[in-house]
Structure 1
Amino acid sequence: MLLDTFGRRAVDLRVSLTDRCNLRCTYCMPEEGMQWLGKTDLLTDEEIVRLVGLAVRDLGVREVRFTGGEPLLRPGVVGIVRACAELEPRPELSITTNGIGLARTADALREAGLDRVNVSLDTLDPETFFRLSRRRRLPDVLAGLAAAEAAGLTPVKLNAVLMRGLNDHEAADLLAWSLEHGYELRFIEQMPLDAQHGWTRSGMITAEEILERLSARFTLTPEPAAARGAAPAERWLVDGGPQRVGVIASVTRPFCRDCDRTRLTADGQVRNCLFAREETDLRGALRAGASDAELGALWRAAMWGKKAGAGIDNPEFLQPERPMSAIGG
């Protein structure tokens, strides 16, 4: 198992398939984009499947989520999903995407074995979408959501980041629209993981502010803490339920003590925390001929050294050098 010195067990693996993205969201990367990883730096499809298989078979991982960048830009994404769905024991498989490629891939992903999707959607206004993402692709995202629903990739979950002065007034409208369409919405506090290192605490819309905006229109009833488990989102029943809304308060209400995640970057580095500044290289060992037992030992050692918390509230906190797009969500 992937244990740490605080008794936490990692059973949820986040696998970044690429650092590339077809949006340029202001809270993630600069308008001109970034220096992408070279093709030889990326894990091959076969290497990804081997490492996921090791994690599932030997290290106790039960859930695998494919991330990016934008994972649907990976040419082999459907084949990777299919190969991972054939693993024993079979993990739960999901993907976090901006939704732009879902209209053309949802059916194939479902047939390959994908269980569900998380789609980023920060606004319903085309002009605000352009201001946030620097691309006019909102119709593609909405078409992707409809395709995911039709393909049975349910429950479809939406992730929204509110930015002060840009889309923070849309919180209640986003929830109303999500309820109407049967999607489960989670608001995420903006985290210090932007490539520009421009994040400020004062500029972030906090969980409390989000809940205030939602409560002005809806009656929110908190779910029991026991129902949350290791999930990052605190959830509330909306107007008595059964539909829910979630808030992921990574900054103001960190949930580190219950964290059950391990991360594999697109270039084969293990990260034991989203905010870690250290990584363990599996790609180099794998390509040097390491056995599964040796790779597993490296992975276990990486997780054993996991810190008690991300330390965002500490004055000496330093943002990771890699931004979110290069880590994987």
Structure 2
Amino acid sequence: MAQQFEDKFHRKFYYLRLSVTDVCNFRCTYCLPDGYQPPGRKRPAFLTLEEIKRVVTAFADCGTSKVRITGGEPSLRKDFPQIIEAVANTQGIRKVATTTNGYRMAKQVATWREAGLTHINVSVDSLDPRMFHQITGENKFFDVMAGIDRALEIGYPQVKVNVVLMKDRNAKQLPEFLQWIKDRPIQLRFIELMQTGEMDELFNNHHVSGVEIRNQLIANGWILKAKGESDGPAQVFVHADYQGEIGLIMPYEKNFCESCNRLRVSAMGKLHLCLFGEQGVDLRDLLQHDSQENALIERIQTQLQNKSVSHFLHDGNSGMTPNLASIGG
């Protein structure tokens, strides 16, 4: 194995978030309220299956053990099962996850599991079908619920459900969410609304801190769970009376970035050291041949020395990221 990917702050990177498309068929208010807008100018195609194999192999050879396939909506790619299979068959990769809006899960999740998908995150921002429609722009609540049920039915031990917290929208629905996971193996992940370049007004109107929910959980007997090496940034809480779990992702909390263990590659083949902050470093010229792996690893390792200690969201700096779909959230 090549040298472990590590930055100048001695953070090691076990987790790759790999976007395979920036296209999405939902119109979530906090991400793509006007729907997906194709670029006006001609641009390169998304990473090919062969390019995906090469970038994942390079990361695996440098200590990465978990890959999350993201979008946009990754299942919009017709070769999504083949992408899963390629990632799962890469030596050193132990976890293959995806984040999906869930609209195709009921029909396709069995195929994904067979291809090697080990973990699933589904975005469900409300358990009220009308509020779900209002937030996502799509009347697909019952389709998504059927997809979650199907995933559990075919043998996934747990499904993670992502909820973006928004004041005056879903922040007061904690009791309903807790009731939902009482007898279901679901890790409910409350994510603080994050400020991006196109969402300043929405952020100012709807941001709510996850600390309030954490305080409620602790007061009601929920206990913080230890974090694994390749786990994401969630603080996970468990309770003896609940089959489900609660995860809190609070990027505005002090020291959030200290445990950063993940890097991002966009659907266009750009390395992003952070969800926020910079334009990205092009890797695509080094993804054309297997023989380029050493040069690819060297470029990534060199760029890692430029990774900042923090995302600087606390300073109101949302960086260059226009929306979360653009590099896979």
Is the contact between residue 64 and residue 93 of structure 1 (CA under 8 Å) also seen in structure 2? yes
Q: How does 1:14-53 map to 2 (within 5 A)?
A: 14-35=17-38, 40-53=44-57
The within-5 A match list for 1:5-16 is 5-16=8-19
How much has 1:231 moved relative to structure 2? 3.6
Alignment of 1:168-247 (within 5 A): 168-193=171-196, 195-201=198-204, 203-211=206-214, 219-223=220-224, 226-227=226-227, 231-238=232-239, 243-247=244-248
User: Is the CA contact 1:28–1:194 (under 8 Å) kept in the aligned structure 2?
Assistant: no
Q: Which residue of 2 aligns with 1:324?
A: 324
Give the deviation of 1:34 after TM superposition: 2.2
Tell me which of 131, 138, 153 is aligned to 1:128: 131
Alignment partner, residue 78 of structure 2: 75
Instruction: Give the direction of change, closer, same or farther, for the CA distance of 1:159–1:152 in structure 2 (3 Å limit).
Output: same
Secondary structure of the equivalent of 1:284? helix
| Higher mean C-alpha deviation, range 184-193 or range 282-291 | 282-291
CA contact (8 A) 2:270 2:283 kept: yes
Instruction: Report the more deviating stretch, 282-291 or 40-49.
Output: 282-291
Contact 2:167 2:205 in 1 (8 A): no
Deviations along 1:85-111, one digit per CA (max 9) or x if unpaired, are 222124311111111111121111111
Higher mean alpha-carbon deviation, 6-15 vs 296-305, is at 296-305
Q: Distance in 2 between matches of 1:10 and 1:138?
A: 35
- Correspondence for 2:311: 310
Alignment of 1:132-143 (within 5 A): 132-143=135-146
Offset of 1:30 from its aligned partner? Answer: 2.3
Q: Alpha-carbon deviation of 1:130?
A: 1.1
Q: Which amino acid aligns with 1:28?
A: C
Do the aligned partners of residues 281 and 320 (structure 1) sit closer, same or farther apart at CA in structure 2, a change above 3 Å counting?
A: same
Q: 1:321 to 1:3 in 2, by over 3 A?
A: same
1:256 aligned counterpart, secondary structure: helix
Residues 21 and 38 of structure 1: CA distance in aligned 2, closer, same or farther (over 3 Å):
farther
Counterpart residue identity of residue 275, structure 1? F
C-alpha distance 198-2 of structure 1, shift in aligned 2 (>3 A): farther
Compare 123-132 and 153-162 and name the one that shifted more: 153-162
Q: CA deviation at 1:182?
A: 2.1
* Conserved 8 A contact 2:152-2:159: yes
Q: Distance in 1 between matches of 2:68 and 2:303?
A: 19
> Alpha-carbon deviations, 1:265-312, whole Å to 9, x = none?
000000111113131101133349971111111111222211001111
2:277–2:320: 8 Å Cα contact kept in structure 1? Answer: yes
Instruction: Give 2:94's aligned amino acid.
Output: P
CA distance in 2 between partners of 1:16 and 1:38 (Å): 19
Q: State the alpha-carbon separation in 2 of the partners of residues 198 and 151 from structure 1.
A: 42
How far 1:240 moved relative to its partner? 5.5
Which one-letter code corresponds to 2:151 in the other structure? A
TM-score (norm 2): 0.90
Q: Secondary structure at the match of 2:222?
A: strand
Task: Give 3-state SS (helix, strand or coil) of 2:203's partner.
Answer: coil
**2:182 match: secondary structure:** helix
Identity %: 32
Letter in 1 for 2:53: V
Instruction: Number of aligned residue pairs: give it.
Output: 324
* CA separation of 1:67 and 1:187: change in aligned 2, threshold 3 A: same
In structure 2, the residue matched to 1:54 is: 58
Of 149, 154, 158, which residue of structure 2 is paired with 1:151? Answer: 154
**In structure 1, the residue corresponding to 2:195 is in which secondary structure?**
coil
- Indicate the residue corresponding to 2:282 in structure 1: 281
Code of the residue aligned with 2:48 in structure 1: it is T
Deviation at 1:203, TM superposition (A): 2.8
Q: TM-score with structure 1 length normalisation? A: 0.90
Measure how far apart 1:192 and its partner are: 1.2
Partner of 2:265: 264
